[in-house]
Structure formats: C-alpha cells, structure tokens
C-alpha cells in the first residue's frame, strides 16, 4: 500500500509534463504567429512592388528573395507591363537562374522577348545576358536588330554578331552596307575587316555627324557620306567574288520569343504645363506622343531641341511632343541647394524662349512621372502610340531621320502578336 508521501512525486512529475506541453504549445503558437506575420509582410511587399509605378531596386529584390517561388515573383513583376519593374526583373534573372545552369523555360522566354523589347535598356540587358549564357538564339536575335528603325539598335546588333564565323556573318551584314546611316555602314565595314582582314578604307572615327551652325541639327558632312559610300562599294566588290563561300543565315527568331512579347501600356498621368494648364497624357489619345524628359543643365537635352522643334512643326496634325522638365528633382551628385520652384520655372521658361520651343512643356515637380518612365538618365524619350502603348523608350539624342522613322512605326497598328496580348 502506498503512503501519502509516496504519491507526491507522481503528482509532481505529472505537473512537470503538463508545463512542458504548455511550453511547447506556446512556442509553436509563437512560431505560427511569426510565420503568418512574415507571410503577411511578404505579401504586403509583393503588393507594393507590383502596384508601385517605380519601386526601388532593393524593394523588388526583397520581394523576389522572400517569395516562396522567386521565379513566379519575377515573372509577375515582368508581367505588370510597367517600365521600372520590367527592367529590374530582367536584370535579376541571373540571381534566380545561375548562368552555369540551364535557364528555366519561363525565364528564358523573358530573355528572348526582352531582346525585341520596345525599351532600349531591356533590349541591351537581354542581349548581354543571352551572350553570357551562350544561348543558341543570340545570332538570330542579333541579326533581327539590323532591321530596326534606330541606328543605335542596328549598331547594337552588329556588336553581338562579332562572335559569328565569317561565312555566317558576312551574308547577314551584307544588306546593311546600303544603310542610310553612314556610321552604321562604317561599323559594318569594321566588322567585315575583322572577319576578312581586308581594309575597306573607313574608320568609325572618320564618320561622325556635326552640328549645323544654322539649324542646330546634327548632320553628316558630305565628305563623311562620300567616304562611307566609297567603302561600301569596295566591300560589295570584295563580297561579289566570295558568295560561294557563304553559309546560311542564323536560324529564325525562336517562337518562344514572339509568344512572350507583350504590349507595354503607358497608362495615364497629369502634370502642370509651363503656361499653367493641367495636362493629361490621355488628352492626346489618337495622336502619337513623344514624351521627352530633359533638364536645363543637360547639354544633350538642349542639343536635341532643334530636332524636336522641327519634328513638331512637320507633324503637328498627328503628333504631340511633351517636353517634361525634371529640374525639380535633385541630381545624384548635386551638392548645392536646389533653387526654389519659382526660380526653376524661370530657368525653364528662359530655355523655352531661347530655343523657340513650339511644343508643350510640362513640369514634373515631384519627379513622379520621370521615375515611372525611368527617366533619370537624360535625355530619355518615350514614343507612345495613338492607343496609349509604349512603342519605344531610349536614352540619348536622335536626329530627324530617326525620329521620323519612329513616328511612322508608331503610327502603324500593333503587330498581331502584340495586339492579341493587349486584349
């Protein structure tokens, strides 16, 4: 028979077990609460990134890294159709898909489509990444750049064709010898020289545009045009004797690239104009819009204004140019105090008078629209079609011929693939 004293240790052991169970349950409850709080926090970050027109690089990186499915998160950012998210998303592909491993099909499709993107930055990043991955589609995508309306993009395509063997590359670049831009012709001749060892008598440094003192427009001097033409004739004569040595051009653009193409909507915004009006982007629906980001201290911006003035003059019935000043946003390396809003407006007005600007000038006082279109590097220009889709985004000045080609292309309907994606 047990005494009362013998029963006490048993009860103490039972109470100890209960306390341990309670402690374990409390820990589990705390971990569960922490998990759900983190899950809610992660979902909040994801929502902010996808909804924001201009999320920071750090915020998007956090959303991708903290997601249970980083690839899906990156693709979601890409599929927003927003300028900033798309550029950051394509830059983050290597962080999810290391270059020493096969690229997952979904991410590879983004890279392939990125090489044909309306955003010049996206296009450059995609082509560079495809080269680092030794992607077999690179030659066909590089060759596709040679048909672009922008001479800078044609030059980009030539850059990525350098790795081709001469027998494949020569027939690809031969048609570009007839390019209207002498600089492109000079680059083709340099590439042919690299492949063949022949000297066609033209260097890129010899074919540079100069500013017309009367109009302010950049033009190729007659001697540069003549030199490029002479080199072209020599190259054509050399090629004529070697046609039998050529091999077929690179394979066609992969169908995955075309299937992954999506239209990029410009959305809408409202900004004050220099003359005090409230201007909405959608006010110009039905016209092609040239959205040009500039500042009074950007010499390249000021230098391209004669082209924009002339462009508006020639196309006033179907074109609207919106010169959007970012003077209210401090420069990254600016140390002096930013002038007052009144002083900034006065500076902008002075440039408008001096340059005879005949198009609408907007004041992006909070930098919101500039950030949304990634306009920090100046000048940045966005071509928007009559339906409100971004047809082209690029950095740096372009001449009248190139602008006219952009406007003509933006005046045409979206291609069938893009039109289907817009629905």
Which pTM does this prediction carry? 0.85
Specify the pLDDT at position 15: 56
Yes or no: say if 193 and 185 are a contact pair by the CB < 8 Å rule: no
209 Ramachandran zone, left/alpha/beta (phi>0; psi -120 to 50): beta
The average pLDDT across 152-169 equals 93
Please measure the distance between the N-terminal and C-terminal CA atoms of the chain and give it in whole angstroms. 87
Domain boundary among 67, 96, 125: 96
Q: Would you say residue 307 has pLDDT above 70?
A: yes
On whether residue 123 sits in a domain, the answer given is no
Banded model confidence at residue 38, pLDDT cuts 50, 70, 90:
very low
> Encoding tokens for residue 400?
């009248």
On whether residue 105 sits in a domain, the answer given is no
Banded model confidence at residue 226, pLDDT cuts 50, 70, 90:
very high
Most confident of 43-47, 200-204, 359-363: 359-363
Residue 342: phi and psi, rounded to 5, are: -65, -40
On whether residue 287 sits in a domain, the answer given is yes
Dihedral sign of CA atoms 75, 77, 83, 88 in order: negative
What is the domain extent for residue 280? 270-422
Specify the pLDDT at position 145: 97
Q: Would you say residue 243 has pLDDT above 90?
A: no
Specify the pLDDT at position 132: 96
Question: How far is residue 83 CA from its own chain's centroid?
Answer: 7
On whether residue 221 sits in a domain, the answer given is no
Specify the pLDDT at position 339: 87
CATH code of the domain containing 347? 3.40.30.10
390-395: strand order across its sheet: 360-363, 319-325, 288-294, 380-384, 390-395
- Kindly give, in sequence order, each residue whose CB lies less than 8 Å from that of residue 261, ignoring residues fewer than 6 positions away: 113, 116, 417, 418, 421
Distance between CA atoms of 253 and 241, rounded to whole angstroms? 29
Distance between CA atoms of 123 and 113, rounded to whole angstroms? 9
pLDDT digits (tens, 9 = 90+) for 48-69: 667 888 888 898 888 888 889 9
Banded model confidence at residue 1, pLDDT cuts 50, 70, 90:
very low
Q: Would you say residue 334 has pLDDT above 70?
A: no
On whether residue 377 sits in a domain, the answer given is yes
Q: Would you say residue 246 has pLDDT above 90?
A: no
On whether residue 324 sits in a domain, the answer given is yes
Hunting for tokens 């064709």 — which residue is that? 161
Buried b (16+ CB within 10 A) or exposed e, 214-228: eebbbebeeebeebb
- Residue 156's alpha-carbon distances to 112, 136, 141, 172, in angstroms, are 16, 18, 11, 14
- Residue 178's alpha-carbon distances to 157, 227, 248, in angstroms, are 16, 13, 20
362 has which bridge partners?
273, 324
What total number of domains does the chain contain? Answer: 2
Domain boundary among 96, 130, 153: 96
Domain boundary among 50, 78, 96: 96
Banded model confidence at residue 279, pLDDT cuts 50, 70, 90:
very high
Q: Would you say residue 293 has pLDDT above 90?
A: yes
Specify the pLDDT at position 81: 92
pLDDT digits (tens, 9 = 90+) for 363-400: 999 999 999 999 989 999 999 999 999 999 999 999 88
> Encoding tokens for residue 363?
């004041």
Query: DSSP of 373-419, one letter per residue?
Result: TTTTSSSEEEEE-TTSBEEEEEES---HHHHHHHHHHHTSPPPHHHH
On whether residue 286 sits in a domain, the answer given is yes
Q: Would you say residue 157 has pLDDT above 60?
A: yes
On whether residue 107 sits in a domain, the answer given is no
- Residue 216's alpha-carbon distances to 296, 307, 310, 349, in angstroms, are 17, 8, 11, 20
Of 201, 121, 187, 123, residue with least CA distance to 159:
187
The average pLDDT across 212-230 equals 84
The average pLDDT across 331-351 equals 84
Specify the pLDDT at position 26: 60
């Amino acid at each position: 028979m047990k005494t009362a004293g013998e029963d006490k240790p048993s009860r103490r052991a039972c109470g100890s077990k209960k306390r341990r169970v309670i402690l374990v349950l409390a820990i589990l409850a705390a971990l569960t609460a922490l998990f759900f709080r983190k899950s809610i926090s992660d979902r909040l970050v994801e929502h902010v990134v996808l909804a924001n027109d201009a999320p920071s690089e750090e915020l998007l990186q956090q959303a991708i890294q903290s997601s249970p499915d980083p690839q899906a998160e990156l693709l979601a950012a890409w599929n927003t159709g927003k300028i900033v998210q798309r550029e950051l998303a394509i830059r983050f592909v290597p962080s999810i898909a290391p270059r020493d491993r096969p690229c997952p099909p979904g991410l590879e499709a983004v890279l392939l489509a990125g090489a044909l993107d309306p955003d010049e930055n996206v296009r450059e990043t995609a082509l560079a990444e495809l080269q680092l991955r030794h992607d077999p589609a690179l030659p066909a995508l590089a060759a596709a750049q040679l048909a672009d309306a922008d001479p800078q993009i044609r030059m980009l395509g030539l850059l990525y064709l350098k790795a081709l063997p001469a027998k494949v590359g020569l027939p690809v670049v031969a048609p570009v010898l007839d390019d209207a831009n002498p600089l492109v012709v000079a680059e083709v001749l340099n590439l042919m020289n690299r492949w063949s060892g022949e000297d066609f008598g033209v260097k890129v440094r010899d074919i540079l545009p100069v500013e017309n003192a009367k109009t302010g427009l950049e033009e190729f001097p007659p001697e540069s045009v003549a030199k490029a033409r002479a080199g072209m004739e020599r190259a054509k004569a050399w090629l004529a004797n070697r046609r039998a040595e050529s091999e077929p051009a690179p394979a066609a653009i992969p169908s995955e690239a075309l299937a992954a193409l999506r239209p990029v909507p410009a959305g809408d915004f409202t900004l004050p104009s220099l003359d005090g009006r409230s201007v909405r982007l959608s006010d110009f629906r039905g016209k092609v819009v040239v959205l040009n980001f500039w500042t009074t201290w950007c010499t390249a911006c000021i230098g391209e204004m004669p082209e924009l003035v002339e462009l508006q003059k020639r196309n006033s019935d179907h074109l609207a140019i919106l010169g959007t000043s970012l003077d209210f946003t401090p420069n990254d390396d600016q140390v002096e105090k930013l002038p007052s809003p009144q002083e900034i407006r006065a500076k902008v007005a002075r440039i408008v008078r001096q340059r005879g600007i005949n198009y609408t000038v907007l004041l992006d006082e909070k930098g919101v629209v500039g950030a949304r279109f990634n306009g920090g590097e100046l000048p940045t220009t966005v071509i928007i079609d009559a339906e409100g889709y971004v047809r082209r985004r690029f950095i740096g000045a372009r001449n009248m011929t190139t602008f006219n080609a952009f406007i003509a292309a933006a005046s045409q309907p979206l291609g069938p693939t893009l039109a289907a994606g817009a629905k």
